[in-house]
Amino acid sequence: MRRIVWIKGVILFSVLSLLWGCATKREVVVLDRETNRLSSRVTTQQRERESLQRDMEKLQNDFKALQKETNDLKMSVPGEAKKVQADLLLRLETLQTEVRTLGTGIEEYKELLKKTPKEMDRLKENIALRTKALEDKEKILDEKDKNLEERMKGMEERLKGLEGKIGQVATKQMEIENLLRAKETSVEGKGVSARTGDLYKDAYEAYQKGDFEGARRKFEAFLKQYPNTELSDNAQFWIGETYYGKKDYEKAILEYEKAIAKYPEGDKVPAALLKQALAFLELGDKTNGRNLLKRVMERYPQSEQADMAKKRLDTIK
């Protein structure tokens, strides 16, 4: 009984020591469970030991009763004496084996009870080591949190800067698109026939409505019928625009190139070069995009496209 009281005292002291330390709430809960488990285990072992002792006493009483029964049988049933004696001897041997097993179990429990204080000492050492490890981890996590906060602040500042630049690029892109539409010369001033003008107007109106597929077919039909008019370079340019509007930048680049190559003296060449540059930039090809913007500035320095190219070039890193 004194040993149990002593063990419970050690357990209580360990728990108080742990609570006094710097372990985290979670670790304290785990250690408290471990301590309760050991305390329960000691109590259970003591109860089992007492139960085994009672069982052993019962077996001894049974053994005495069997001996008495054997003697009585020898006296009362001479003819069955040998058979009964053999059975009783077998049962006796079995009981003796069980008694020895129980005795061994009791000794093992005694040894286990002796080892329990040592296990408590080892547990205390493990708790101390784990507590220190947790404290070290907390320090590392605190440092990481500080570094992460600094990095997040830096990323937020960079993101704000990027959002501003993206807004500038989008605004300039819209300015370019609006200027290109505003610069589309009316067909009456091109010196073409009414029939030619009507076909061109029909195609251009389809483009303005966002019907890129329909506009492309009409511009292509116009070029097939009127390949060398004042509006032919415009029609070729707007075919490129229909692909650009669908974000098919590769095909748009090819169609702009046709406007440049077939109509080198046309008034859509600066616009075609500028839109080629923008298409390359949309594809992530900064090298070609930058080179084409510079070409617009060099070949057509007085054009509005040159001014747009310069502004767009300033946004490229």
Write down the domain spans for the chain. Answer: 2-154, 183-314
Q: Whole-model pTM?
A: 0.44
- Residue 91 pLDDT: 77
- Give the integer Cα–Cα distance in Å for 82 and 69: 14
The more confidently predicted of residues 153 and 112 is 153
Tell whether the model's pLDDT for residue 310 goes beyond 90.
yes
- Residue 153 pLDDT: 72
Tell whether the model's pLDDT for residue 144 goes beyond 90.
no
- Condensed to tens digits (0 to 9), the pLDDT of residues 263-290 reads 999 999 999 999 999 999 999 999 999 9
- Residue 108 pLDDT: 66
- Give the integer Cα–Cα distance in Å for 169 and 266: 28
Token readout for 70 is 């054997």
Range of weakest confidence among 46-55, 130-139, 218-227, 237-246: 130-139
Tokens 């415009």 identify what position? 234
Output 115-119 pairs: Cβ under 8 A, ≥24 positions apart.
Answer: 116/7, 116/38, 116/41, 116/42, 117/6, 117/7, 117/10, 119/38
Question: Contact 289/316 with Cβ under 8 angstroms?
Answer: yes
The CATH classification of domain 183-314, taken from the options 1.25.40.10, 1.10.357.10, 3.50.50.60, 3.40.50.300? 1.25.40.10
- Residue 169 pLDDT: 47
Range of weakest confidence among 1-15, 65-79, 88-102, 129-143: 1-15
Output 260-264 pairs: Cβ under 8 A, ≥24 positions apart.
Answer: 262/232, 262/233, 262/236, 263/232, 263/233, 263/236
- Give the integer Cα–Cα distance in Å for 249 and 258: 14
Tell whether the model's pLDDT for residue 180 goes beyond 50.
no
**DSSP state at residue 163:** H
**DSSP state at residue 184:** -
The more confidently predicted of residues 175 and 149 is 149
Backbone angles phi, psi at 306, to 5 degrees: -65, -40
- Residue 189 pLDDT: 42
Render 48-87 in DSSP notation, one character per residue: HHHHHHHHHHHHHHHHHHHHHHHHHHHHH-STTHHHHHHH
Helices (H) then strands (E): counts for the chain: 10, 0
- Condensed to tens digits (0 to 9), the pLDDT of residues 60-108 reads 888 788 778 767 766 765 666 577 567 767 877 776 787 677 667 667 6
- Give the integer Cα–Cα distance in Å for 281 and 284: 5
- Give the integer Cα–Cα distance in Å for 131 and 21: 8
Token readout for 194 is 């009414």
The more confidently predicted of residues 116 and 310 is 310
